[in-house]
């Protein structure tokens, strides 16, 4: 039986989170020291650890079937690759930054200026779309130092917290694009491998849904059940269990992390008491 070949960054910000995602999906990887290719025993999957910048080309050529990679890299490389699912981690943005003493945030500051970057294709496309003519200096690493040594008037680079910019006397001005880790695939998958991919995506969705959801239990007066139920953004309907104390029931449901405190406030205002929140390991819907 053939196996689905997945590429993962062999080092760097995506490595640990990619492996953790696979582990959460029930796929256990026993890495030997310095192994660049590992076969998984409990799922038809073979993992290849590659340099981040090489992954898009390997995908386009069909050397690997799928990969966990940053959207920003796919945008930069312009490869014929399909994004299967966004993964919600390793979020960052590709942004322009200038020395902190520059007072304007306007894009036209860069008109006729020099910009240092590791993302020349992304930057060139953005500048053309906004009718900005600038000189692009391609740097493979340590882009932040360019303005300090007089090589450029600003930079274009990935930004997460902004701490690296701050340490180098720079500040972010314009965001070109937002990025996160994605599961991407080649266009040359066989029917057998498409079936394997569907199973993997099913597991990934269950894991990601659980991470963004909480199981909630609360005690509610019976005359408040209807209004409380209407407040809960449930999958279908909440579970309602009568309590030993007359006139009270326990309501069980699921709420999303993004709206957690907003929902909790409404529940308390509508009479919910003894609210208990439990993390969810997996969520299959």
User: Tell me, what's the pLDDT at 32?
Assistant: 55
Cα–Cα nearest to 169, from 93, 94, 102, 92: 102
Length of the chain: 285
Burial class, 90, CB count within 10 angstroms (exposed 0-12 / middle 13-18 / buried 19+): buried
Domain boundaries, the chain: 4-89+180-210, 92-179, 213-279
The predicted model gives 83-89 an average pLDDT of 95
Rg of the chain, C-alpha, whole Å = 24
Gap between the Cα atoms of 90 and 190, Å rounded: 30
* pLDDT band for position 235 (cuts 50, 70, 90): low
Domain 213-279 classification at class level: alpha beta
Instruction: Say if 4-89+180-210 and 213-279 have the same CATH topology.
Output: no
Q: What is the signed CA dihedral for 38, 56, 189, 17, rounded to 10 degrees?
A: 50
Please name the residue that has the structure tokens 């996160």. 180
Whether residue 285 is predicted with pLDDT greater than 90 in this model: the reply is no
CATH topology of domain 92-179: D-Maltodextrin-Binding Protein; domain 2 (3.40.190)
Could you tell me the sign of the dihedral formed by the alpha carbons of 66, 67, 70, 76, in that order? negative
Cα–Cα nearest to 74, from 152, 150, 7: 7
Q: Which stretch of DSSP H or E encloses residue 76?
A: helix 71-77
CATH of domain 4-89+180-210: 3.40.190.10
* pLDDT band for position 11 (cuts 50, 70, 90): confident
Whether residue 234 is predicted with pLDDT greater than 70 in this model: the reply is no
Gap between the Cα atoms of 10 and 70, Å rounded: 14
Gap between the Cα atoms of 198 and 203, Å rounded: 9
User: Tell me, what's the pLDDT at 194?
Assistant: 95
User: Tell me, what's the pLDDT at 35?
Assistant: 76
Whether residue 123 is predicted with pLDDT greater than 80 in this model: the reply is yes
Whether residue 248 is predicted with pLDDT greater than 60 in this model: the reply is yes
What is the pTM for the complete model shown?
A: 0.84
* Most confident of the ranges 107-121, 237-251, 262-276: 107-121
The predicted model gives 186-197 an average pLDDT of 93
User: Tell me, what's the pLDDT at 6?
Assistant: 96
Gap between the Cα atoms of 133 and 110, Å rounded: 8
User: Tell me, what's the pLDDT at 190?
Assistant: 92
What is the chain's mean pLDDT, rounded?
Answer: 91
Q: What are the tens digits of pLDDT across the range 26-73?
A: 998 876 556 788 888 899 999 999 998 899 999 999 999 999 999 999
Percent of the chain at pLDDT > 90 equals 72
User: Tell me, what's the pLDDT at 193?
Assistant: 95
């Amino acid at each position: 039986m053939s196996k689905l070949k997945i590429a993962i960054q062999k080092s760097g910000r995506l490595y640990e989170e990619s492996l953790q995602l696979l582990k959460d999906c029930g796929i256990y990887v026993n890495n030997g020291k310095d192994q660049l290719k590992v076969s998984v025993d409990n799922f038809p999957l073979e993992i290849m650890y590659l340099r981040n910048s090489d992954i898009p080309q390997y995908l386009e050529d069909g050397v690997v079937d799928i990969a966990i990679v940053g959207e920003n890299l796919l945008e930069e490389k312009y490869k014929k690759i399909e994004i299967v699912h966004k993964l919600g981690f390793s979020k960052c943005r590709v942004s322009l930054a200038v020395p902190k003493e520059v007072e304007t945030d306007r894009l036209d500051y860069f008109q006729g200026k020099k910009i240092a970057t590791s993302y020349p294709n992304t930057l060139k496309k953005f500048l053309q779309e906004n009718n900005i003519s600038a000189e692009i200096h391609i740097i493979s690493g340590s882009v932040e130092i360019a303005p300090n040594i007089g090589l450029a008037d600003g930079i274009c680079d990935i930004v997460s917290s902004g701490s690296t910019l701050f340490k180098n006397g720079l500040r972010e001005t314009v965001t070109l694009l937002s990025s996160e880790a994605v599961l991407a695939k080649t266009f040359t998958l066989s029917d057998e491998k498409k079936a394997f991919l569907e199973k993997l995506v099913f597991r990934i969705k269950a894991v990601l849904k659980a991470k963004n959801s909480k199981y909630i239990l609360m005690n509610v007066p019976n005359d408040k059940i209807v209004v409380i139920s209407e407040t809960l953004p449930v999958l279908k309907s909440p579970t309602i269990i009568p309590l030993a104390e007359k006139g009270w029931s326990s309501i069980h449901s699921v709420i999303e992390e993004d709206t957690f405190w907003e929902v909790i406030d409404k529940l308390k205002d509508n009479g919910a008491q003894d609210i208990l929140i439990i993390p969810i390991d997996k969520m299959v819907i």
